[in-house]
Amino acid sequence: MIVSSLGNTELLKLRKTAFLCSREIPASVVLKCYDWAIEQRDQGNCIISGFHP
């Protein structure tokens, strides 16, 4: 049970995928990753991402 929250709690109901990559990848790959994340969002999935130093 959530007693108090900030933000969109509906995100908690979505399927979630964690995505981690190196920050030293080429720009062309970053754009492909971004397009993939947008596609996942449009399909109703929640993407949690980060870049490893």
pLDDT reported for residue 16: 85
Does residue 46 belong to any structural domain of this protein? yes
- The count of structural domains within the chain is 1
Q: Which residue has the tokens 């062309």?
A: 28
Does residue 18 belong to any structural domain of this protein? yes
pLDDT tens, residue by residue, 15-46? 888 888 777 888 888 889 889 888 988 998 88
Q: How confident is the model at residue 53 (pLDDT cuts 50, 70, 90)?
A: low
Domain with 39 in it: 10-52
Does residue 42 belong to any structural domain of this protein? yes
Does residue 3 belong to any structural domain of this protein? no
Alpha carbons 12 and 8: distance in angstroms, whole number: 8
Does residue 30 belong to any structural domain of this protein? yes
Does residue 47 belong to any structural domain of this protein? yes
